[in-house]
Structure 1
Amino acid sequence: MKNPFQLGDVKIYSFVVTEADFATMEGHMVHEVLSTFALGRSMEWAGRLFVLEMLEAGEEGIGTMLHVEHHTPAFAGETVEFRATFAALENRELTCAVEVWVDERLVATGRTGQRIVRSEKLSARFAALRAGSPTSA
């Protein structure tokens, strides 16, 4: 793992809200706004933008934590901007603070965690779990 970043560095990811991002559960439309699920998915991606630059050959990042606080809605056609801030790196685990904005409106805040591990170790862990053997990662 390499770390070219400093605490406080920011990565930005944005997209325009579409119907595919709406709050839908079990095929039923709940609200025609950006869902909390879609927020979480994109918050994790924003933090992963750091991870992608930290990985060395034979390494992979895996999510460890996601916390989402949904404050206001984002509507179809609006551009949401995810600002992931490099908050901590401890024991190969990156924590990011994330804010989500539509223009000057704060839509959500949260935190993400991703651990950088050896790809072979992760594959072995997955294989052991599939086989029913509870080995540690």
Structure 2
Amino acid sequence: MKSGMMVGQTASITAAVTPEMFAQFDGEVVHPVYSTVSMVYHMEWASRKIILPYLEEGEEGMGGAVSMKHIAPSGEGTSVTITATLTELRSNVVITKVEARNENGLIGVGEVKQVILPKEKINRMGQKGE
């Protein structure tokens, strides 16, 4: 991992809620609002943006844990902004606090843990099911 990553760094993504992001199971929409699954995906993506500039050529970030609370709904066409803030850096472990907001305010909070590992090790783990 390249040097320079520091506690306090932030990264954000913004997405407009589309029908593909609605809460659904087996292709059946449960309700036409931003799903928890989509929120977790966007939280991981915002967190990943923090580590990307610091990955060496043979490294990759791997999800280690996500904890989150989906606080409020967000309907189709709503703009959702997810911001990750680096709160802890221990060797190859990166922890971010994440907030999701729409035009009405806070809709989700969480924490994402990423582990930076050699790509070769990640590939071996996937092949062996370790």
TM-score, normalising length: structure 1: 0.90
Unmatched tracts of structure 1, length 5 or more? none
1:36/1:68 contact within 8 Å kept: no
> Superposed, which structure 2 residues align to 1:53-68 within 5 Å?
53-68=53-68
Q: 1:75-123: CA deviations, max 9, x gaps?
A: 1111100010001111301110000001351010001011000111111
The residue that corresponds to 1:113 in the other structure is: 113
The Cα shift of 1:2 comes to 1.4
One-letter amino acid matched to 2:99 = E
Contact 1:4 1:54 (8 Å CA) reproduced:
yes
5+ residue gaps in structure 2? none
CA distance in 2 between partners of 1:124 and 1:22 (Å): 35
Deviation at residue 70 of structure 1 after TM alignment: 0.5
Secondary structure of the 1:82 match is strand
- Give the aligned CA root-mean-square deviation in angstroms: 1.2
User: What corresponds to 1:35 in structure 2?
Assistant: 35
Which letter does structure 1 place at the counterpart of 2:14? S
Identity of aligned residues (%): 32
C-alpha distance 104-10 of structure 1, shift in aligned 2 (>3 A): farther
2:22 corresponds to: 22
Contact 1:15/1:80, CA 8 A, preserved across alignment: yes
Give every structure 1 segment of 4 or more consecutive aligned residues whose post-TM-superposition deviation is greater than 4 Å.
none
Higher-Rg member (1/2) = 1
SS, match of residue 64 in structure 2: strand
**Equivalent residue number for residue 44 of structure 2:** 44
In structure 2, the residue matched to 1:6 is 6
The number of residues matched between the two structures is: 130
Indicate the SS of the match to 2:37. helix
| TM-score between the two structures when normalised by the length of structure 2 | 0.94
